[in-house]
Amino acid sequence: MAMKVKRYEAPTLQEALLHVKRELGSEAVILQTRKFNRGGVFGFLGKNMVEVLAATDIETAGATKQQLRPAHSQGAQQRKASPQTSAQPAQAGQSTEVLRDELREMKSALHALLQKNQTETSERVEPYPSIFGDIYLKLLENDVDDTIAQDIIRSMDDSLQPERKEDDQAVEAALERQLRRLLKISGQIELTGREQRTIALVGSTGVGKTTTIAKLATIFSLQKRKKVGIITADTYRIAAVEQIKVYCDILNVPVRVVYNAEDMKRAVDFFADRDLIFIDTAGRSHWDTERIKDVRDLLAVCYPLEIHLVMGAQTRYRDMVDIAERYRPLAYNHLIFTKLDETSAYGNLINLITKINTGVSYLCYGQNVPGEIQPATLDSLVSLILGKPLAKAVGAKR
């Protein structure tokens, strides 16, 4: 059977799929999806684009059947490039060379997606039931990185007995298991025994460090009746000191403002009787490496210390990775996601967690203090990645 393989480019996945459907019909098979940057200088200031590689039988091109099926559906399998297929003569108007190229391309795309063990004698690839394709596209739509989405699909396939692969419930359970495997939480702040805990929040300008400290301080001082102290090194802006002082007044929590390492040492000593000390740091542009070093020097005098990197959930993935990289010298060991209320696609959470292998401690989803903060749980992260509504996912009453 002759195949037609075509590339489609559009600003969004949906638009690209629409072109595919219009041109190749509903029986088209999606072989590969990829995001890329168009134009600009060396890719800077370019436009985000999506590329879709799709294939169809020439006979069925343009036909409008029921469903647009991803590469791993049953239909794809029947049309997959077998040695016999590639030996077929080219259709009129298409050179054998072009067809061969297209088939080669399609085969490698399929191979990348399926990565099945191939026996020496056969190139047979087991088909994925169509629900796998639906899940794959849903993950991509939720901004889950393509490599991670493919990993999830492959692992789901490996983990399920053949007869269970058609059982939607079993497949969904397998998906959840894979998400739980990839996601990571670091646990909320637990105060055990008499040991004092010192917690610093670091991160880019305006990401919500001060607000989050105010939320946490409320939970621990008012609800849990712990002795809380706040140290602020956020002296870059006058308003910042005022902001934290107002919160501390309301909460009746003592605050110390520090300008250098010596002040910091004194403040930590001053808070010797506290169960919990929060340290607020000045936000820095992540390009300002010198300033990030200043923060490190300040924090160096108060070990042992937990450092939570605060990251806005609405931040572009590439920026998230840059920020995480720039802050690495601070040796943060937790992640706090803020501004979950400012986005609706949460794939970047799983992308970043797997990229930097750091667990999430808290999720924040609003400007109100107190409230709009929850300890991160695997359940809440899984729900967000699966596209459940925010309020439901974080289990919050809003």
Rounded distance, CA 295 to CA 272, Å? 22
- Residue from 60, 211, 315, 361 touching ligand GTP (CB under 6 A): that is 211
Query: Considering the complex, what minimum distance in angstroms separates the CB of residue 379 from ligand GTP?
Result: 20
Does 279 bind ligand GTP (CB under 6 A)? Our answer is no
Q: Which does 275 bind (CB under 5 to 8 A by kind): Mg ion, ligand GTP, none?
A: none
Does 365 bind ligand GTP (CB under 6 A)? Our answer is yes
Q: Which stretch binds ligand GTP (CB under 6 A): 74-82, 115-123, 318-326, 334-342?
A: 334-342
- Residue from 206, 329, 389, 395 touching ligand GTP (CB under 6 A): that is 206
Does 342 bind ligand GTP (CB under 6 A)? Our answer is yes
Q: Angle, nearest 10°, between helix axes 347-356 and 146-159? A: 90
Helix, strand counts (H, E) of the chain? 15, 12
Asked if residues 329 and 293 have their Cβ atoms less than 8 Å apart, the reply is yes
Q: Which stretch binds Mg ion (CB under 5 A): 133-141, 158-166, 231-239, 327-335?
A: 231-239
Q: Which stretch binds Mg ion (CB under 5 A): 68-76, 101-109, 110-118, 226-234?
A: 226-234
Does 208 bind ligand GTP (CB under 6 A)? Our answer is yes
- Residue from 57, 143, 145, 234 touching Mg ion (CB under 5 A): that is 234
Q: Which long-range contacts (CB under 8 A, 24 or more apart) does 163-172 make?
A: 165/128, 165/129, 165/132, 166/129, 168/131, 171/129, 171/131, 171/132, 171/135
Alpha-carbon torsion 23, 56, 27, 125, what sign?
A: negative
- Residue closer to ligand GTP by CB (options 194, 397) is 397
DSSP-derived pairing of the beta strands 334-338 and 306-312: parallel
Asked if residues 104 and 65 have their Cβ atoms less than 8 Å apart, the reply is no
Q: Which does 186 bind (CB under 5 to 8 A by kind): Mg ion, ligand GTP, none?
A: none
Query: Considering the complex, what minimum distance in angstroms separates the CB of residue 396 from ligand GTP?
Result: 12
Burial of 331 (0-12, 13-18, 19+ CB in 10 A): exposed
Q: List, in order, residues 6 or more apart from 322 with CB less than 8 Å away.
A: 286
Query: Considering the complex, what minimum distance in angstroms separates the CB of residue 212 from Mg ion?
Result: 9
Q: List, in order, residues 6 or more apart from 330 with CB less than 8 Å away.
A: 202, 292, 295, 296, 299, 307, 309
Query: Considering the complex, what minimum distance in angstroms separates the CB of residue 381 from ligand GTP?
Result: 16
Dump the DSSP string for 208-242: SHHHHHHHHHHIIIIIS---EEEEE---SSHHHHH
Among 87, 24, 12, residue whose Cα is nearest residue 50: 12
Query: Considering the complex, what minimum distance in angstroms separates the CB of residue 240 from Mg ion?
Result: 5
The count of C-alpha atoms lying within 13 angstroms of the C-alpha of 140, restricted to the half-sphere facing its C-beta, is 24
Does 306 bind ligand GTP (CB under 6 A)? Our answer is no
Does 247 bind ligand GTP (CB under 6 A)? Our answer is no
Among 355, 350, 351, residue whose Cα is nearest residue 376: 350
Q: Which stretch binds Mg ion (CB under 5 A): 101-109, 235-243, 294-302, 304-312?
A: 235-243
x/- contact string, 237-256, with Mg ion (CB under 5 A)? ---x----------------
Query: Considering the complex, what minimum distance in angstroms separates the CB of residue 101 from ligand GTP?
Result: 49
Does 295 bind Mg ion (CB under 5 A)? Our answer is no
Q: Which does 341 bind (CB under 5 to 8 A by kind): Mg ion, ligand GTP, none?
A: ligand GTP
- Residue from 32, 150, 204, 210 touching Mg ion (CB under 5 A): that is 210
What residues from 124 to 153 belong to the interface with ligand GTP (CB under 6 A)?
none
CA-based Rg of the chain, rounded to a whole angstrom? Answer: 26
- Residue closer to Mg ion by CB (options 57, 234) is 234
SS3 310: strand
SS3 129: coil
Q: Which residue is nearest to ligand GTP (CB)?
A: 283
Judged by CB under 6 A, how many residues of this single chain contact ligand GTP? 19
- Residue closer to ligand GTP by CB (options 14, 367) is 367
Which positions lie near ligand GTP, rule CB under 6 A?
205-211, 234, 240, 282-283, 338-339, 341-342, 364-367
Which positions lie near Mg ion, rule CB under 5 A?
209-210, 234, 240
